[in-house]
Amino acid sequence: MDKLGIDIGSRFVKIAYYHKNDLILKRIDTIQFYKNCVGQNNGEMVVNLENFVDDFQFKDIVATGYGRNVMSFKNAKIISEIKAHFKGTLNQMKEENFTLIDIGGQDSKVIYVKNGYIEDFVMNDKCAASTGRFLENAANILGITLEELSSEVRNPVKLNSTCAIFSESEIIGKIAEGYRISDIAAGINESIAKRIFPMLKRFKNQRYFASGGVASLYGVIFFLERLLDNRIEIVDNAQYNGAIGCLFY
């Protein structure tokens, strides 16, 4: 066990490492991670991964994600989420030319890769309306699970708000107007796809991949494929892609 990759997301912390040639993947709720694995030392937030990983014997730690810069890792290398997800996709999918869509809990990003190198990328970290956190809040408003929301694609209700706060108010308004919950859910999936699409359409490619927690949610990917008029393949171990990418630095 030489190297451990860790992706500290806003919703979950994911780790990846190899043990006897087997890829080991683990996940913990971010708040629980802070409670169980993070402490204070001389004013610094210090991570103790021994509370997360049994028989901790790693020579190197490579960290990425939303929380990578707010805590101290002993002998750790810090890399950007762009680099981590690029390497994760490159090595898992064995493709050197692709466009990657990563939809996380706090932001969304599109990475354009040509001949095995990052050619360009674009991020939306200003507005939460195209993130996993917004989807969770929307599901709570509708009184359904995130999985139920993500499965709806028929008869989408048109949603006009581009801001997460106003979108949530608009969802409540649609409920009050008597629209079916399933149709509102479909409209939410379509609206997120429409917010992400402008980031995507500037990059023309033969293969499109999706990673991050939202990648496993059917509805958003369905509408993105319609807008792109192209298939989007889900990266292997999509939610752990960033942590896996860390293993290649």
| pLDDT tens digits, one per residue of 198-241 | 999 888 878 999 998 878 889 999 999 999 999 999 999 999 99
Sheet (strand 22-29) strand order: 22-29, 12-19, 3-8, 60-64, 76-78
For residue 175, what pLDDT band results from cuts at 50, 70 and 90?
very high
Average pLDDT over residues 165-170: 83
Q: Could you tell me if 65 and 7 are in contact, meaning their C-beta atoms sit under 8 angstroms apart?
A: yes
pLDDT the model gives residue 170 = 94
User: Which residue, chain included where needed, has tokens 């890792």?
Assistant: 73
Q: What is the pLDDT of residues 41-78, one digit of tens each?
A: 777 777 878 777 876 678 899 999 988 876 666 668 99
* Residue, of 85 and 105, whose pLDDT is higher: 85
pTM: 0.90
pLDDT the model gives residue 215 = 86
Q: Is the pLDDT of residue 160 over 60?
A: yes
Compute CA distances 182 → 133, 166, 222, 227, whole Å: 19, 20, 15, 21
Determine the Cα–Cα distance for residues 249 and 28; give it in Å rounded to an integer. Answer: 23
Angle between helices 164-176 and 181-200 (to 10 degrees): 150
pLDDT the model gives residue 128 = 62
Q: Which domains does the chain have, with CATH numbers?
A: 3-78 (3.30.420.40), 96-236 (3.30.420.40)
For residue 178, what pLDDT band results from cuts at 50, 70 and 90?
very high
- One-letter amino acid at 130 equals S
pLDDT the model gives residue 2 = 83
Average pLDDT over residues 2-23: 92
- One-letter amino acid at 86 equals F
pLDDT the model gives residue 71 = 67
Cα-flanking dihedrals φ and ψ of residue 87, to 5°? -65, -40
Averaged pLDDT of the chain: 89
Determine the Cα–Cα distance for residues 102 and 210; give it in Å rounded to an integer. Answer: 6
| Secondary structure (H, E, C), the chain | CCEEEEEECCCEEEEEEEECCEEEEEEEEHHHHHHHHEEEECCEEEECHHHCCCCCCCCEEEEECCCCCCCECCCEEECCHHHHHHHHHHHHHCCCCEEEEEECCCCEEEEEEECCEEEEEEEECCCHHHCHHHHHHHHHHHCCCHHHHHCCCCCCCCCCCCCHHHHHHHHHHHHHCCCCHHHHHHHHHHHHHHHHHHHHCCCCCCCEEEECHHHHCHHHHHHHHHHHCCCEEECCCHHHHHHHHHCCC
Q: What is the pLDDT of residues 20-37, one digit of tens each?
A: 889 999 999 999 998 988
User: Which residue, chain included where needed, has tokens 């990425």?
Assistant: 64
Average pLDDT over residues 1-30: 91
Q: What is the pLDDT of residues 88-141, one digit of tens each?
A: 999 999 999 999 999 887 788 999 999 999 999 998 866 665 678 889 999 999
pLDDT the model gives residue 41 = 78
